[in-house]
């Protein structure tokens, strides 16, 4: 459990004040954006044309909103970033041996029979659970897909998940009544293979010799950004070859005719854009494409340029359908559903799939092979010490009913 008594109080308060001020500025900017966009729309209706200067003003505010939101998210992420507790609890023998290896390269204790956790020739030494947990927590905090998908830790390189193809039937019965056997469900197995992901942070020997430096937290901070970026790209667009299979990789078909292992989509009716009249209607169509059970925990996924486009849309009552979060780090909403920004999503264009909607926790599964391996390399990049850090990760769609796409095409 995290011990709040060990946190420095002054920086936390200052950080909270900074985030609050940034949120206030962001919400004020959104009000300015709405005013400018309303004026632009009024000009269009009055003159059947667009004021170029006013349009540029709207775009400048829109771009500033996007950057402010990203900055606030980064601040909130830094505030939430887990830190290893520095309690005076005794350090176990394996962890002490591993820290000695990281600081000085002494692997003699790790190679003893009692502590054997792999050898350098085989790719490194298995990190203690505390180190692996610190890295995992840091990566999760920085990864948008890990925050919305299901995550399972496994002990093998492949996880086989049985999935129902339908056919399971439930029945009502009265007290004491005969219970007839219900038809059994058809099952198929989906394999989620893991692939190796690596990063190579570098440190100076002076940093490693500094007893004040927490080398576990340093490692977690160094690898989290690279791991999160590579993972997220694979979880969205990966082809499954030496990497996870992204949710955009399976065959995509119109929802009305899609197969059981295909991702369904609805079309905007316009090649490369939204309809000019009532553009938000296609977003409503997308929301109602999954079954109700998936809509309950549904969310939109898109990149920031697509967010900048839908931010201008209004509903039939003249209300903006995009609304900012009033909590730092919280998701903005679109038509009442949370929006997760992932830059690996395509931008709006002909035949592109820039927007996804659905229950990603039910729809996408991430599998982590237990264990984090680290190989200390003081030779390749002298005078720096490299830490070749590897883990095995897999992922793929586990429920094709849960995720739907918006295709920017006529059909």
What pLDDT does residue 80 have?
59
Helix (H, G, I), strand (E, B) or coil at 230: helix
Please report whether residue 94 resides in a domain. no
HSE (side-chain half, CA atoms, 13 Å) at 390: 14
Please report whether residue 345 resides in a domain. yes
Q: Are 285 and 255 in contact (CB under 8 A)?
A: no
Q: pLDDT grade, residue 48 (50/70/90)? A: low
Q: Are strands 187-193 and 195-199 parallel, antiparallel or unpaired?
A: unpaired
Please report whether residue 356 resides in a domain. yes
Crossing angle, helix 215-237 and helix 93-104, to 10 degrees?
Answer: 90
Question: Does one domain contain both 334 and 271?
Answer: yes
Residue 3, both tokens: 């011990």
Q: Are strands 373-377 and 187-193 parallel, antiparallel or unpaired?
A: unpaired
What pLDDT does residue 81 have?
57
Q: pLDDT grade, residue 87 (50/70/90)? A: very low
Rounded-to-integer distance, Cα 306 and Cα 309, Å: 5
Rounded-to-integer distance, Cα 167 and Cα 179, Å: 18
Question: Does one domain contain both 272 and 232?
Answer: no
Please report whether residue 52 resides in a domain. yes
Question: Does one domain contain both 240 and 132?
Answer: yes
Mean pLDDT of the chain: 85
Crossing angle, helix 93-104 and helix 129-142, to 10 degrees?
Answer: 70
| pLDDT at 32 > cutoff 60 | yes
Please report where in the chains the tokens 């197995």 appear, as a residue: 189
| pLDDT at 343 > cutoff 50 | yes
Question: Does one domain contain both 128 and 266?
Answer: no
Question: Does one domain contain both 351 and 373?
Answer: no
Q: pLDDT grade, residue 164 (50/70/90)? A: low
Question: Does one domain contain both 234 and 373?
Answer: yes
Find the mean pLDDT for residues 311-336: 90
Rounded-to-integer distance, Cα 237 and Cα 346, Å: 10
Task: Tell me the per-residue pLDDT of 344-353, one tens digit each, with 9 for 90 and over.
Answer: 999 999 999 9
Question: Does one domain contain both 107 and 162?
Answer: yes
What pLDDT does residue 20 have?
77
What pLDDT does residue 67 have?
80
What CATH number is given to the structural domain containing 345?
A: 3.30.2320
* CB-count burial class (<10 Å; 0-12, 13-18, 19+) for 245: buried
Q: How many domains does the chain have?
A: 3
What pLDDT does residue 179 have?
67
What CATH number is given to the structural domain containing 120?
A: 3.30.2400
Contacts of 354 (CB under 8 A, 6+ apart): 302, 303, 306, 345, 346, 347, 348, 406, 408
What pLDDT does residue 6 have?
35
Q: pLDDT grade, residue 7 (50/70/90)? A: very low
| pLDDT at 168 > cutoff 70 | no
Encode burial over 290-315: b for 16+ CB neighbours within 10 A, e otherwise: beeebeeebbbbbbbbbbbbbbbbbe
What pLDDT does residue 181 have?
64
Encode burial over 108-130: b for 16+ CB neighbours within 10 A, e otherwise: eebbeeeeebbebeeebbbbbeb
Question: Does one domain contain both 355 and 228?
Answer: no
What pLDDT does residue 73 have?
73
Q: Are 339 and 299 in contact (CB under 8 A)?
A: yes
Lowest mean pLDDT across 72-76, 182-186, 241-245? 182-186
What pLDDT does residue 123 have?
66
Question: Does one domain contain both 356 and 371?
Answer: no
Find the mean pLDDT for residues 267-277: 96
Spatial CA neighbour of 338 closest among 318, 367, 361, 364: 361
Please report whether residue 353 resides in a domain. yes
| pLDDT at 248 > cutoff 80 | yes
Rounded-to-integer distance, Cα 250 and Cα 154, Å: 24
Residue 372, both tokens: 């984090």
Q: Are 135 and 372 in contact (CB under 8 A)?
A: yes
Please report whether residue 85 resides in a domain. no
Q: What is the DSSP letter of 5?
A: G
Please report whether residue 132 resides in a domain. yes
Please report whether residue 136 resides in a domain. yes
Phi, psi for residue 45 in degrees, rounded to 5: -70, -35
What pLDDT does residue 85 have?
45
Rounded-to-integer distance, Cα 14 and Cα 401, Å: 45
Task: Tell me the per-residue pLDDT of 366-399, one tens digit each, with 9 for 90 and over.
Answer: 999 999 999 999 999 999 999 999 999 999 999 9
Question: Does one domain contain both 315 and 225?
Answer: no
Question: Does one domain contain both 132 and 212?
Answer: yes
* CB-count burial class (<10 Å; 0-12, 13-18, 19+) for 37: buried
Helix (H, G, I), strand (E, B) or coil at 103: helix
Question: Does one domain contain both 241 and 109?
Answer: yes
Residue ranges in 81-210 assigned as alpha helix (H) = 93-104, 129-142, 144-148, 205-209
Residue 20 lies in domain: 15-80
Helix (H, G, I), strand (E, B) or coil at 188: strand
């Amino acid at each position: 459990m995290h011990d709040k008594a060990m946190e420095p109080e002054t920086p936390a308060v200052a950080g909270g004040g900074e985030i609050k001020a940034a949120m206030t500025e962001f919400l004020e900017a959104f009000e300015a954006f709405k005013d400018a966009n309303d004026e632009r729309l009024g000009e269009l209706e009055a003159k059947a044309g667009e004021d170029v200067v006013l349009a540029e003003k709207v775009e400048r505010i829109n771009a500033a909103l996007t950057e402010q939101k990203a900055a606030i998210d980064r601040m909130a992420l830094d505030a939430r970033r887990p830190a290893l507790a520095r309690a005076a609890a005794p350090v176990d023998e394996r962890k002490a041996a591993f820290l000695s290896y990281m600081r000085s390269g002494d692997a003699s204790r790790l190679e003893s029979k009692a502590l054997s956790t792999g050898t350098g020739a085989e790719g490194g030494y298995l990190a203690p659970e505390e180190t692996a947990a610190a890295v995992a927590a840091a990566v999760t905090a920085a990864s948008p897909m890990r925050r919305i998908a299901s995550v399972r830790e496994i002990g093998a390189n492949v996880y086989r998940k049985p999935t129902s193809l339908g056919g399971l039937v439930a029945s009502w019965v009265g007290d004491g009544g005969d219970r007839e056997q219900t038809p059994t469900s058809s099952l198929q197995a989906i394999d989620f293979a893991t692939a190796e992901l690596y990063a190579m942070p570098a440190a100076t020997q002076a940093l490693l010799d500094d007893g004040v430096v927490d080398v576990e937290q340093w490692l977690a901070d160094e690898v989290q950004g690279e791991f999160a970026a590579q993972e997220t790209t694979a979880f969205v667009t990966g082809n499954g070859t030496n990497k996870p299979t992204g949710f955009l990789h399976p065959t995509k078909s119109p929802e009305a005719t899609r197969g059981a292992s295909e991702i369904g989509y609805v079309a905007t009716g316009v090649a490369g854009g939204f309809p000019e009249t009532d553009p938000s209607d296609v977003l409503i169509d997308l929301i109602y494409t999954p079954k109700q059970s998936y809509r309950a925990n549904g969310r939109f996924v898109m990149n920031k340029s697509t967010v900048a486009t839908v931010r201008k849309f209004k509903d039939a009552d003249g209300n903006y359908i995009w609304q900012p979060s009033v909590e730092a780090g919280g998701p903005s909403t679109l038509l009442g559903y949370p929006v997760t920004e992932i830059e690996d999503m395509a931008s709006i264009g002909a035949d592109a799939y820039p927007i996804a909607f659905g229950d990603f926790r039910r729809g996408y599964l991430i599998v982590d092979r237990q264990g984090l391996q680290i190989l200390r390399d003081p030779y390749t990049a002298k005078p720096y010490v490299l830490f070749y850090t590897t883990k095995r990760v897999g992922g793929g769609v586990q429920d094709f009913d849960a995720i739907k796409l918006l295709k920017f095409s006529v059909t």
